[in-house]
Amino acid sequence: MSRHNRGAQTGVLALLAAAGLVAVSYRALSRRNFQRHPGDSAPGRTARQTRFGDFAVTGKTITINRPRTELFAYWRDFSNLAGFMENIVSIQPTGEDRTVWTIKAPGGQTVDVETEIVEERDGELIAWRSVEGSEIEAEGKVFFRDASADRGTEVEAIVAYKPPAGEVGRWIGKLFGREPGVQGRRELKRFKMLMETGEIADACYHAQS
């Protein structure tokens, strides 16, 4: 199934190639504008040119039609995360606020990251950071905010990490579908599916044996 999807994806991406060219020329033109711009309200990670030192920053916001406290409680129990995070092999607690995450990496390998919780506000925020000596330096935050007009909860997850082999590592990771930006987006959507419907959409027409 996934091979099928990748084939279809190539077709769709080909359709978009022309649109990409247009975007590139637009950017070239807009550089002629030397006037200073006021800082806008958008999250920094959506900027056209991002600079966070050696760190890549990725983040995504999603609205889930469930109460904030329920979502927070589910997330805070880290053992639940492997249920919707495809690239998590296991999550082992190693201390009160410490956890080892074993994450799938490109080429069938795994990477261990030990993290500790650095900030927690009940029902609102969980922030964590890799401890010294981890294979990947990373930190992340998940915010839970009430959405407007009873739409449920806005969940915003931000992850900053040092790519294993710089830009090249990130590019290779992207090709393998293990790039945290792509993966994070998919995982938040799976979290939403699980919370809103009790299951995760799967189009396979027969169970995989």
Partner 1 sequence: MRALTWHGHHDVRVDTVPDPEIINPRDAIIKVTATAICGSDLHLYDGVIPGMMPGDILGHEFMGEVVETGPKSTLEKGQKVVVPFTISCGSCYFCQKQQYSACDNSNPVDAQDLSEPLYGHAMSALFGYSHLTGGYAGGQSEYVRVPFSDVGPIVVPDHVEDEKVLFLSDILPTGWMAAENADIEPGDTVAVWGCGPVGLFAIQSALLMGAKQVIGIDHHPHRLELARSLGAKIVDFSRTHVGEALMEMSGGIGPDAVIDAVGMEAHGFAPDNVIEVVKQKVGVAADRGHALREALITCRKGGRVSVPGVYGGFLDKFPLGAMMQKGLQLRTGQTHVQKYTKPLLEKILNGEIDTTFLISHRLPLEQGPEGYKNFHDNQNEWTKVVLRPE
Please report how close the Cβ of residue 13 comes to partner 1 at its closest, in angstroms: 7
Q: Is 17 in the site for partner 1 (CB under 8 A)?
A: no
Contact 141, 53 (CB under 8 A): no
CB 115 within 8 A of CB 129: yes
d(Cα 200, Cα 19) in Å, to the nearest integer?
A: 32
Name which of 164 and 181 has its Cβ closer to partner 1: 181
Interatomic CA distance for residues 186 and 178, integer angstroms? 11
Candidate list 22, 24, 28, 201; residue touching partner 1; CB under 8 A:
201
Counted residue by residue, the chain has a size of 209
92 near partner 1 (CB under 8 A) = no
Contact residue for partner 1 among 61, 63, 79, 90 (CB under 8 A): 63
Contacting partner 1 (CB under 8 A), which of 81, 100, 125, 200? 200
CA atoms of 169 and 175, how far apart (whole Å): 10
The H or E element that residue 191 is part of is helix 180-197
- Cα gap 185→42, rounded to integer Å: 18
Write the binding mask 147 to 166 for partner 1: x where contact by CB under 8 A, - elsewhere: ----xx--------------
Rounded Cα distance between 117 and 22, Å, is 44
Q: How far is the CB of 100 from partner 1 (least distance, A)?
A: 26
Choose between 19 and 28: whose C-beta lies nearer to partner 1: 19
Contact flag: residue 186 with partner 1 (CB under 8 A) = yes
Question: Rounded to the nearest whole angstrom, what is the least distance from the CB of residue 86 to partner 1 in the complex?
Answer: 9
Q: Supply the minimum distance, in Å, between the C-beta of residue 181 and partner 1.
A: 12
User: Distance of CA 29 to CAs 14, 34, 36, 40, 158, Å?
Assistant: 24, 11, 16, 20, 31
Binding part of the chain for partner 1, among 31-39, 47-55, 106-114, 200-208 by CB under 8 A, reads 200-208
Task: Please say whether the beta carbons of 45 and 59 come within 8 A.
Answer: yes
42 in contact with partner 1 (CB under 8 A): no
Q: Which residues bind partner 1 (CB under 8 A)?
A: 1-2, 4-5, 7-9, 11-13, 15-16, 63, 65, 151-152, 182, 185-186, 189-190, 192-193, 196-207
